[in-house]
Amino acid sequence: MILSILAATPIAGALVLALLPRGTSNHLPAKVVALGVSLVTLALSLAVLAQYEPSDGGYQLTEQHTWIKAFGAHYAVGVNGIAVTLVLLTTILVPIIILASFDDRLPDPKGTNAYFAWMLAVEGLALGAFMATDAFLFYVLFEATLIPLYFLIGTFGGPNRSYAAVKFLIYNLVGGLLMLAAIVGLYVVSSRQGDASYLLSDLKNLDMGQNTERLLFLGFMAAFAIKAPLWPLHTWLPDAAKEATPGTSVLMVSVVDKIGTFGMITWCLNLFPEAADWASPVIITLAVVSIVYGALLAIGQDDIRRLIAFTSVSHFGFIILGIFAFTSTSMAGSTLYMFNHGLSTAALFLVTGIMVSRRGSARISDFGGVQKIAPIMSGVLLLAGLSSLSLPGLAPFVSEFLVLAGTFTVSIPAAAVATLGIVLAALYILIMYQRTMTGPLAPGAMGVTELRPREIAALTPAIMLIIGLGFFPQPVLSAINPAVDTVVSHLGKSDPTPKTPTPIAESSDQAPTAEEGGH
């Protein structure tokens, strides 16, 4: 029951905000209510975590009720280690986003209640998607997240917000339609083998023909590849990130886009193991292209928001690479990467959003020397940037290392090319930092004032987690590993032994000669 309450709390909060009078000119009551609801949701997620047994790789705290009996749909929720990690990420980020968004400049300030209501709606729907164990329920929630995000971008975004919102919606609706076709296919297959069912536990045991399985896999995978996003289906993201408010960008990239990579593990690998294995060479290739392509385009950006969007295309490439390498090490790294990327990208979007708001421009070339007048802001940007390039000692390093270590055991070429993304990440982050924060103070940057106490309070939890999990990631990995092992076992895979050079046999009673290197 606690999972249902968890997902329903932000939805109820959104309804309260929608009915709340607009109040004072600064709309403080609506902001406080939104923050309070998000903190209650965080407390509930911590209660879920307290009841969760990390050593069990199966689903826990499950709840199941018949929903639409005619075609076997259930209201069914539960969490395993992968789901509970992303539930925790969502409930941690939303209070940070809301607190950091108190001073957002909206096109119509009268829409403040709706702005925060849509944020809470995104949170509730995303939590439901992470917890759903019925394919039809998951699909409904997967598509429903588009509605509040569309309004957040299209109503409260920048000058080209309408174009960005429509592009975002069209791309994701096309993916959703392909997934719907696959959902219908699952109904046909399951009804032919008994009572129709969309329950994950039932679908995992379906007997599908090879061609049927591959077609259904492609329907699901296309939707997830657009959502994630994977090259070449990524082009909606830079436009949406450029026009959206910083808080909306964090919700979109750090939370909702994770539903795509989560779906690849939970639905694609569990339901279509043979098809996933069949498609893995192509998907790994696309993931490697995403890593390098996203990093190269990030280097060439002058708009800070587009730069961060392209870094995310690169980072999602790492996540997808680790998933389809099919090793427990790489898949655990991918799941941890989802969590860590959410934190680092949130810090980047929010601190740069504050910079852009005060400067009145998102162009990197319009900044310069900001560290002279805003050293704390400069330090936060540097730490967030270093975490994005996976500096050792910060959280993303551990997850990126696990992805590459696991991938090296199955595909040295893919892992070697992916490693180039680390080098390129250093370029796009350090060049951006150098041009905005160092050197002489740009005349137009005089208005970029230091972070205020509320902004510091909003960013501090993300920074603390980035540092803490960089040195001690085991609490998160303890929950992730058993669930990942269950998925890898279902795929029929086992971790290959890393290849090492064969040692040259040498007699123990004979010292090496000078020619052999003796001294």
> What was the pLDDT predicted at 506?
46
Q: For residue 458, tell me if it sits in a domain.
A: yes
Q: For residue 381, tell me if it sits in a domain.
A: yes
Other CB atoms within 10 Å distance of the CB of residue 373? 15
- The whole domain housing 385 covers 272-495
The span from the CA of 126 to the CA of 507, in Å, is 63
> What was the pLDDT predicted at 348?
93
Using CA atoms, how far residue 325 sits from 29, 214, 296, 397, in Å, is 49, 18, 24, 18
The span from the CA of 267 to the CA of 198, in Å, is 11
Mean pLDDT of 270-299: 93
Three-state DSSP state, 60: strand
The string over 253-266, giving b where at least 16 C-beta atoms fall within 10 Å of a residue's C-beta and e elsewhere, is bbbbbbbbbbbbbb
Could you give the percent of the chain with pLDDT greater than 70? 95
> What was the pLDDT predicted at 300?
86
The span from the CA of 392 to the CA of 398, in Å, is 8
Structure token pair of residue 346: 């949130």
Structure token pair of residue 270: 């569990």
Predicted TM-score (pTM) of this structure: 0.88
**Tens digit of each residue's pLDDT (9 = 90 or more) over 189-209:** 888 887 888 899 888 888 888
> What was the pLDDT predicted at 25?
62
What are the helix and strand counts (H, E) for the chain?
A: 21, 2
Whether the CA torsion 318, 320, 321, 326 is positive or negative: it is positive
**Does the pLDDT value for residue 509 go beyond 60?**
no
pLDDT bin (cut points 50, 70, 90) of residue 510 is very low
Q: For residue 256, tell me if it sits in a domain.
A: no
**Tens digit of each residue's pLDDT (9 = 90 or more) over 110-165:** 888 889 999 999 999 999 999 999 999 999 999 999 999 999 999 988 888 899 99
Q: For residue 321, tell me if it sits in a domain.
A: yes
CB under 8 A, 24+ apart: contacts of 276-281: 276/217, 276/324, 276/491, 277/326, 277/491, 278/214, 279/214, 279/217, 279/218, 279/221, 279/324, 280/324, 280/326
> What was the pLDDT predicted at 4?
94
* Residue 117 C-beta-side C-alpha neighbours within 13 Å: 20
pLDDT bin (cut points 50, 70, 90) of residue 517 is very low
> What was the pLDDT predicted at 310?
93
**Tens digit of each residue's pLDDT (9 = 90 or more) over 261-276:** 999 999 999 999 999 9
Bigger pLDDT: 40 vs 371: 40
**Tens digit of each residue's pLDDT (9 = 90 or more) over 221-257:** 999 999 988 989 888 999 999 989 999 999 999 999 9
pLDDT bin (cut points 50, 70, 90) of residue 515 is very low
**Tens digit of each residue's pLDDT (9 = 90 or more) over 342-353:** 999 999 999 999
**Tens digit of each residue's pLDDT (9 = 90 or more) over 52-102:** 998 888 899 999 998 888 888 899 999 999 999 999 999 999 999 999 988
Could you give the percent of the chain with pLDDT greater than 90? 61
**Window from 40-49, 270-279, 355-364 with minimum mean pLDDT:** 355-364
The span from the CA of 237 to the CA of 372, in Å, is 33
**Does the pLDDT value for residue 448 go beyond 70?**
yes
The string over 301-326, giving b where at least 16 C-beta atoms fall within 10 Å of a residue's C-beta and e elsewhere, is bebbbbbbbbbbbbbbbbbbbbbbbb
One-character DSSP codes across 394-431: SHHHHHHHHHHHHHHTT-HHHHHHHHHHHHHHHHHHHH
pLDDT bin (cut points 50, 70, 90) of residue 501 is low
Structure token pair of residue 451: 């972070």
**Does the pLDDT value for residue 488 go beyond 80?**
yes
- Characterise 303 by phi-psi region: left (phi > 0), alpha (psi -120 to 50), beta (else): beta
> What was the pLDDT predicted at 439?
82
Mean pLDDT of 432-453: 84
Tell me whether residue 288 is exposed, middle or buried, using C-beta atoms within 10 angstroms of its C-beta: 0 to 12, 13 to 18, 19 or more.
buried
Contacts of 508 (CB under 8 A, 6+ apart): none
Q: Which residue type, as a one-letter code, is found at position 124?
A: G
Structure token pair of residue 299: 């280097």
> What was the pLDDT predicted at 511?
45
Q: For residue 103, tell me if it sits in a domain.
A: no
Mean pLDDT of 433-446: 82
**Does the pLDDT value for residue 406 go beyond 80?**
yes
Q: For residue 518, tell me if it sits in a domain.
A: no
**Does the pLDDT value for residue 500 go beyond 60?**
no
Q: For residue 87, tell me if it sits in a domain.
A: no
* Count of domains observed in the chain: 1
Name which of 423, 430, 431, 432 is nearest 292 in CA terms. 423
**Tens digit of each residue's pLDDT (9 = 90 or more) over 1-24:** 899 999 999 999 999 998 888 755
> What was the pLDDT predicted at 366?
84
The span from the CA of 104 to the CA of 94, in Å, is 15
Q: For residue 389, tell me if it sits in a domain.
A: yes
Alpha helices in 76-132 (DSSP H): 81-100, 112-131
